[in-house]
Amino acid sequence: MPCMSVHIRFLGGAGTVTGSKYLVEHDGQRLLVDCGLFQGYKQLRLRNRDPLPVVPGQIGAVVLTHAHIDHSGHFPLLVKEGFRGKAWCTAATRDLCQILLPDSGHLQEEEAEYANRKGFSKHHPALPLYTEADARTSLKQLRTVRLHETFEPLRGWQARLTNAGHILGATSVLIEVGGRRLLFSGDLGRPDDALMLAPEPPPQADVVVCESTYGDRVHPKEDVLAELGPALTRLAARGGTAVVPVFAVGRAQALLHAIGQLKARGDLPHGLPVYLDSPMAVETTELYERHVSEHRLNAAQCRDMERVARLVTSVEHSKAIARQHGPKVVLAASGMATGGRVLHHLTQYLGDHRNMVVLTGYQAPGTRGAHLAQGTQSLRIFGQEWPVRAEVVQLTSASAHADADQLMAWLTQLSKPPHRVFVTHGDMEAADALRARIEHQLGWRAMVPEHGSTWLA
C-alpha cells in the first residue's frame, strides 16, 4: 500500500528570508508553493545552481503567492530543466511576472557578459542561470485564478487564494489534499499600508506556513513622510544626489506616492527633479491603474503618482542623469542593490559626502544594501571596491511587510489553533523570535524548519 500521508519539504525560505520553495507531496503527486531565487549571502546564492532534490518534470503544478523574485525567480529555471505543468497565480501576479522574470533573465545575461569581459568571475565562462528568452518561454505556463475561487491544480487537490496585501496580486494559499488543510501565508502586508489593502483573515487550516521577515521587531509609529521629508530636505540644501534603491514592484510606487505628498504639502521644493530609472518600475507603476480594485489609490491618484517622476527607460537616458547638475533624486532597482541600474548610480555617487543613499526597507544579510545599512566604508561593485562617503539613510517605516505584532494578529484570527505552525521566510533570529511568541503567547506548536527538511503535515 502506498503511503497516503501529506508531506511538506522545505526547499527554500527555511532559516533564511529568501528562495521560498515549499514542496507538498501526497500519493505520488507533487505541488510546489512558490519558486523563488536565493539572494544575499554567496553561500545562499550558490544554492540557485544546485539541482533540486526532485526532478522538475516530476512536479505536477506550481502555485505562486506573488511575483517578487525571491518567490518567483526560479520558475524559468524550473521550466528550463523540465517542468511541464501549470503555475497558478492571480492576474496581477501574472502581469508582474511578465515584467520581472524576463528582466531577471536579462540582468543575468548582462552580469555574465560583464563578468566575462572584465574577467572577475571564477567561472570561465560565466553563464546566466537562465536567459530572457528562457523566462519568456516559461510565462506560457502561467494560469490565472481569481481570489476566493476554488481551483484544482492537480487531480483531487483543491486550492484557494486570499488577499495578503504586500504588493499587487499577493496572496496566501490554502491547499486541501489528503484530508489536510495547509495554509501558506506568502508575504503578508501591513494593515495600515499607504498603498495596499490589509491582508484578509486567514482561512482555517491544520498546518500554517507563516513568513517571519519582521518576526523580531515592530515598525515605528512615525510614517514614511516623517522620515523621508527631512532627509531629502537636507539633500536638496547641499545640492547632492539621492540614490534610492527600490524594489520595482511596490516600494518604487510607495516612494513616488510619498514624494508626491511631500511636494504637494510644500515639504519639498516642487522643482526637485525625481527620476524613476527602471523600465520594470515604470511598467509596474502603470499596472496600478489596471488593477485599481487591489489597492487604496483611485485612478486619478495612480496618474498623479506617475507624474511625480521623470520616467527613464533607455540606457542613454539613464547615463544622462549624471550630467544633470544640482540636487536630484534617483529611484532605481533593485531594492537591496543586488543588481540592475542602481549599481551604476552607486558607483557614480557613493564617493561624495554631499550625496545620499536612501534604503527603503528590509535588507537581506549579505546584500550590498545590508552592508550599507551596517556602515561599511567601501562597497564591492563590478569586481572592485568603491569608497562610501555619501550619507546613508535607512527608512524604518517604509516596509511593505507585516511586523511581529501584525503577524501575531493575523495568526490569532484563525478560528481554532492549527496542529502546527512552520515559521519560514525570515532570518534565523527573526524566525526563532516569532516561533517563541507563537509557542509562549498562543500555546501552539511552532518550529523553524531546516533547509531541505521534510515534515508530515
Indicate the SS3 state at residue 246.
coil
Residue 187 carries which DSSP code? Answer: S
List of residues 6+ apart from 432 with CB closer than 8 A: 423, 448
- The pLDDT, as a whole number, for residue 121 is 64
The residue written with cell numbers 561599511 in the block is: 376
Q: List alpha helices for 297-417, DSSP H.
A: 299-307, 315-320, 342-349, 368-373, 404-411
List of residues 6+ apart from 379 with CB closer than 8 A: 346, 350, 368, 371, 372, 385, 386, 388
Pairwise CA distance, residues 256 & 263, whole Å:
11
Residue 200 in grid coordinates: 484578509
DSSP class per residue in 193-233: -SSBPPPPPPPP-SEEEEE-TBTT----SS-HHHHHHHHHH
> Taking the alpha carbons of 434, 436, 439, 445 in that order, is the dihedral positive or negative?
positive
Give the H/E segment covering residue 159.
strand 158-163
- Residues forming a β-bridge with 124: none
- The pLDDT, as a whole number, for residue 208 is 98
Tell which CATH architecture fits domain 224-394: 3-Layer(aba) Sandwich (3.40)
Indicate the SS3 state at residue 248.
coil
The contacts found for 297-304 with CB under 8 angstroms, 24 or more apart, are: 297/195, 297/257, 301/257, 304/260
Q: For the chain, which residues make up each domain, given as ranges?
A: 6-217+400-456, 224-394
- The pLDDT, as a whole number, for residue 313 is 86
- The pLDDT, as a whole number, for residue 421 is 98
Radius of gyration of the CA atoms of the chain, in A? 21
Q: What distance, in Å, lies between the first and last C-alpha atoms of the chain? A: 19
Which residues, given as ranges, of the chain have pLDDT below 70? 1-3, 120-123
* Same fold flag, 6-217+400-456 and 224-394: no
CATH topology of domain 6-217+400-456: Metallo-beta-lactamase; Chain A (3.60.15)
List of residues 6+ apart from 26 with CB closer than 8 A: 4, 5, 6, 7, 157, 177, 178
Amino acid identity, position 127 = L
Closest Cα partner for 242 from 369, 342, 331? 331
- The pLDDT, as a whole number, for residue 397 is 85
- The pLDDT, as a whole number, for residue 292 is 92
Give per-residue pLDDT as tens, 419-453: 999 999 999 999 999 999 999 999 999 999 999 99
Pairwise CA distance, residues 337 & 40, whole Å:
10
